[in-house]
């Protein structure tokens, strides 16, 4: 399927626009503009009031002013390097235009003495005398119409001026065809949005500052177009996955009942609800693609195990994959007693399994004697075969993108996929990153988890903190001491951890251990094992402990230079304590003075333990790209849409995209054809290929 003919002019070279040569076209690349269509989405970020005034007396300098003047005498500089001055007079007052390094012949032509001109620029007072240095615009009176009363200001890059962008944008707008509407009629009416072409003209022709706000109907509409194209792509990926037949996996509930009977508490309402959603998906004849999102300590592990047992009850197998070996071991230890209660064989497979032992495990796996396998990505090596894999659970999804999810699905013939993340993600971001998935949320804490007391302490009080810690260790408590992140350098992180380790070792003796990213995995595991066993009382660590480590006896978390961490990270680190019966404390040590943002982050953390509230706050403060770490976020790059301010539109777009595809899977209805046009327009060719596959 080829690009529609109507869009050809918008996808031509930039040089085809009037006033854009080869060199300028190359300069535009700095703004991410390669074709006329990109100019449509290069929106002005501010504007300048160029409304006409009769005289400069009506304004208060310094400000931008537009007046009609009569040109008076020219005063070329007497000595080199001095400015060239031109006297002008408006209806009431006289003032001076000032030019530096200007050629006299150019200025006499631009501003001929005795003639009238419209000038616009920044008026300033210099020793009480009004002057305008290098006016932005000098026009003949008959050309005055060319100057809008409110002039949009565009982002610039080296080699591109405002005038050039404005002219190129005008050329691109002239090529924008009238396209059929792809937004759902009732939605368009309810929101009062303009049509596509009208929205572009309004966004590029603001009449005042209010027209530049993300809440303006024209901008809302263009943002919605981007969200809709993105959600259509994800919905198509989801539909493609659903067309791949799954095996209906129906549990009997027998093994799950044994596990629940062995627990000292009942599952929370959220856990039961999530499990019901997962079980229904597994029963369906197509493949599950679900995200299980839970806050720190919301009990994802239990839900995961019960889901794996559904697979075993149905005569199949399940696999749980973790991003690191430490986490895989931990899952294995956490699940072992539960699997034992159910009478199901659970095994661990990591890169460390070698030789005969590994071969025996692989044989048992292939012959179906192992019900549940826990491992790292090593479970996807060529020689690993399952007898009947029904469910794959991936922990800590944000280390994976949509593409890897698709590969994962290819391993089992009809494997259902459940992804778990302990990072609460605001709804708009979850939809942007995981819009192809169905989402279950665990938003209740299991009974018995005590609140964690969070305290802010300045680093100046280091000695008090160490004394407090000495007291706690003497009482048999355990503590984490997390060292600051140093400019993304593992070597420096290591140095800062090493220095703190030596300092605490001097204070407490050999009950202090250390783990950091530079250590060989075996040493890291050994250090963790000593801490878990209680031989080490204080564990100095870099952020390697951010995810998943579970030591119920550890009840103190000290985070040094807490202001250098992001909110989500601090929330994850704090979640490492408060897992046992003891009252837990988290000390956020900061270096004074705190920046405004740093202070706001630490206070949010002190005031709430709700991961979703923290994530929303994080999004508002940092922006979407930083929140998931831009490099691996897989977040789409939107030109107009702003996830922080317009995120609510994302949910509408997801519902709309899914509904459109349910009614019209190959996009052949009038609205479906219009939606294809949108996908071409916003470079979602991948989506168009997915329709063809279908």
Which pLDDT belongs to residue 476? 87
pTM over 0.85: no
Given pLDDT bands bounded at 50, 70 and 90, which one contains residue 105?
confident
Dihedral pair phi/psi, residue 143, rounded to 5°: -90, 0
Residue 514 has pLDDT above 80, yes or no: yes
Which has more pLDDT, 251 or 286? Answer: 251
Q: What is the percent of the chain with per-residue pLDDT over 90, rounded to a whole number? A: 26
Which pLDDT belongs to residue 693? 46
Given pLDDT bands bounded at 50, 70 and 90, which one contains residue 401?
low
Residue 436 three-state SS: coil
Given pLDDT bands bounded at 50, 70 and 90, which one contains residue 214?
confident
DSSP H or E run through 602: helix 596-607
Q: What is the C-alpha to C-alpha distance for residues 99 and 467, in angstroms, rounded to an integer?
A: 68
Structure tokens at 362: 């692989």
Q: DSSP of 489-531, one letter per residue?
A: -HHHHHHHHHHHHHHHHHHH-TTEEEE-TTS-HHHHHHHHHHH
Q: What is the C-alpha to C-alpha distance for residues 393 and 398, in angstroms, rounded to an integer?
A: 14
pLDDT in tens, 359-375: 999 999 999 999 999 99
Quickly tell me which residue has 């966004």 as its tokens. Answer: 203
Architecture of domain 286-442: 3-Layer(aba) Sandwich (3.40)
133, 79, 76: which is closest to 106 by C-alpha? 76
Answer yes or no: are the C-beta atoms of 325 and 336 closer than 8 Å.
no
Q: What is the C-alpha to C-alpha distance for residues 213 and 535, in angstroms, rounded to an integer?
A: 59
The domains spanning 51-147 and 452-608 adopt the same CATH topology: no
Residue 398 has pLDDT above 60, yes or no: no
Strands (DSSP E) contained in 396-477 are: 416-421, 438-442, 452-458
Angle between helices 217-243 and 648-663 (to 10 degrees): 50
Mean pLDDT of the chain: 83
Structure tokens at 464: 């008090």
Q: What is the C-alpha to C-alpha distance for residues 83 and 79, in angstroms, rounded to an integer?
A: 9
Given pLDDT bands bounded at 50, 70 and 90, which one contains residue 694?
very low
pLDDT in tens, 571-627: 888 888 877 777 889 999 988 888 877 888 888 888 887 777 777 777 666 554 444
Given pLDDT bands bounded at 50, 70 and 90, which one contains residue 632?
very low
Which has more pLDDT, 186 or 1? Answer: 186
Sign of CA dihedral 137, 141, 145, 149: positive
Residue 158 three-state SS: coil
Residue 529 has pLDDT above 70, yes or no: yes
Sequence-separated (6 or more) residues with CB below 8 Å from residue 131? 95, 96, 97, 98, 123, 124, 125
Residue 114 has pLDDT above 70, yes or no: yes
Q: Where are the domains of the chain?
A: 5-46+156-212, 51-147, 286-442, 452-608
Q: What is the percent of the chain with per-residue pLDDT over 70, rounded to a whole number? A: 88
Q: How far is CA 477 from CA 227, 272, 473, 537, in A?
A: 50, 34, 5, 7
Which pLDDT belongs to residue 692? 56
Strand 438-442: give its sheet, edge to edge.
346-349, 372-375, 317-321, 389-395, 416-421, 289-294, 438-442
Domain covering 452-608 in this structure, CATH number: 3.40.50.300
pLDDT in tens, 218-261: 999 999 999 999 888 888 877 777 666 778 898 999 999 999 99
Tell me the Ramachandran region of residue 584: left when phi exceeds 0, alpha when psi lies from -120 to 50, beta otherwise: beta
Report the range out of 58-67, 190-199, 374-383 with the highest average pLDDT: 190-199
Given pLDDT bands bounded at 50, 70 and 90, which one contains residue 350?
confident
Residue 273 has pLDDT above 90, yes or no: yes
In CATH terms, the fold of domain 51-147 is OB fold (Dihydrolipoamide Acetyltransferase, E2P) (2.40.50)
pLDDT in tens, 491-507: 565 567 888 888 899 88
Q: What is the C-alpha to C-alpha distance for residues 192 and 179, in angstroms, rounded to an integer?
A: 18
Answer yes or no: are the C-beta atoms of 640 and 222 closer than 8 Å.
yes
Structure tokens at 22: 């080869």
Across 98-109, average pLDDT: 86
């Amino acid at each position: 399927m080829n690009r529609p003919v109507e869009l050809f002019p918008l996808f031509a070279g930039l040089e085809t626009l009037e006033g854009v040569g080869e060199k300028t076209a190359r300069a535009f690349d700095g703004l991410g503009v390669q074709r006329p269509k990109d100019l449509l989405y290069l929106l002005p970020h501010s504007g300048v009031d160029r409304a006409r005034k009769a005289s400069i007396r009506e304004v208060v300098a310094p400000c931008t002013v537009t007046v009609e003047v009569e040109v008076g005498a020219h005063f070329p500089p007497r000595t080199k390097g001095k400015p060239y001055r031109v006297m002008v007079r408006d209806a009431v007052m006289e003032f001076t235009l000032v030019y530096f390094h200007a050629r006299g012949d150019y200025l006499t032509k631009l501003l001929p003495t005795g003639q009238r001109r419209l000038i616009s620029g920044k008026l300033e007072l210099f020793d009480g005398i009004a002057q305008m240095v290098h006016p932005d615009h000098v026009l003949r009176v008959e050309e005055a119409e060319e100057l809008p009363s409110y002039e949009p200001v565009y982002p610039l890059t080296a080699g591109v001026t405002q005038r050039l962008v404005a002219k190129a944008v005008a050329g691109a707008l002239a090529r924008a065809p009238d396209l059929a509407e792809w937004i759902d009629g009732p939605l368009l009416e309810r929101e009062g949005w303009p049509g596509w072409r009208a929205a572009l003209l309004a966004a590029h022709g603001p009449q005042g500052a209010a027209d530049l706000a993300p809440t303006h109907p024209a901008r809302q509409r263009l943002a919605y177009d981007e969200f809709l194209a993105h959600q259509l792509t994800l919905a198509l990926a989801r539909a493609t996955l659903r067309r791949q037949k799954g095996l209906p996996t129906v549990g009997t509930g027998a093994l799950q009942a044994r596990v629940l009977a062995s627990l000292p508490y009942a599952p929370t309402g959220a856990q039961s609800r999530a499990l019901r959603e997962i079980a229904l998906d597994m029963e369906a004849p197509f493949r599950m693609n679900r995200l299980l999102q839970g806050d720190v300590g919301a009990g994802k592990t239990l839900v995961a195990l019960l889901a794996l047992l559904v697979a075993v009850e149905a005569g199949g197998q399940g696999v749980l994959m973790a991003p690191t070996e430490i986490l895989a071991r931990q899952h294995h230890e956490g699940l072992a007693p539960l699997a034992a209660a159910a009478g199901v064989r659970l095994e661990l497979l990591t890169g460390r399994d070698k030789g005969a032992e590994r071969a025996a495990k692989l044989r048992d796996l292939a012959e179906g004697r192992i019900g549940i396998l826990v491992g790292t990505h090593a479970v996807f090596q060529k020689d690993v075969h399952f007898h009947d894999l029904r469910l794959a659970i991936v922990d800590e999804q944000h280390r994976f993108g949509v593409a890897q999810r698709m590969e994962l699905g290819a391993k089992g013939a009809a494997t259902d996929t459940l992804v778990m993340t302990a990072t609460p993600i605001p709804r708009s971001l979850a939809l942007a990153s995981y819009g192809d998935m169905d989402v279950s949320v665990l938003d209740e804490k299991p009974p018995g988890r005590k609140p964690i007391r969070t305290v802010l302490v300045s680093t100046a009080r280091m000695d008090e903190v160490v004394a407090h810690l000495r007291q706690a260790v003497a009482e048999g408590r355990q503590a984490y001491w997390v060292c600051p992140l140093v400019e993304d350098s593992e070597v420096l992180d290591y140095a800062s951890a090493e220095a703190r380790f030596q300092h605490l070792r001097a204070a407490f003796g050999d009950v202090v251990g250390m783990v950091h990213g530079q250590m060989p995995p075996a040493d890291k595991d050994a250090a963790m094992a000593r801490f878990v066993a209680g031989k080490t009382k204080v564990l100095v660590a870099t952020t390697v402990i951010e995810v998943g480590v579970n030591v119920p006896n550890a009840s103190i978390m000290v985070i040094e230079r807490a202001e250098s961490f992001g909110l989500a990270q601090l929330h994850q680190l704090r979640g490492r304590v408060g897992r046992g019966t003891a009252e837990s404390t988290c000390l956020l040590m900061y270096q004074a003075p705190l920046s405004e943002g740093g202070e706001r982050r630490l206070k949010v953390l002190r005031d709430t333990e709700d991961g979703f509230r923290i994530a929303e706050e994080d999004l508002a403060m940092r922006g979407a790209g930083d929140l998931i770490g831009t490099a691996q976020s897989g977040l789409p790059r939107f030109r107009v849409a702003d996830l922080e301010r317009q995120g609510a539109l994302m949910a509408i777009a997801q519902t709309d995209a899914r509904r459109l595809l349910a009614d019209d899977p190959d996009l052949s209805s009038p609205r479906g054809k219009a939606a294809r046009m949108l996908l071409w327009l916003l470079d979602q060719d991948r989506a168009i290929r997915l329709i063809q596959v279908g």
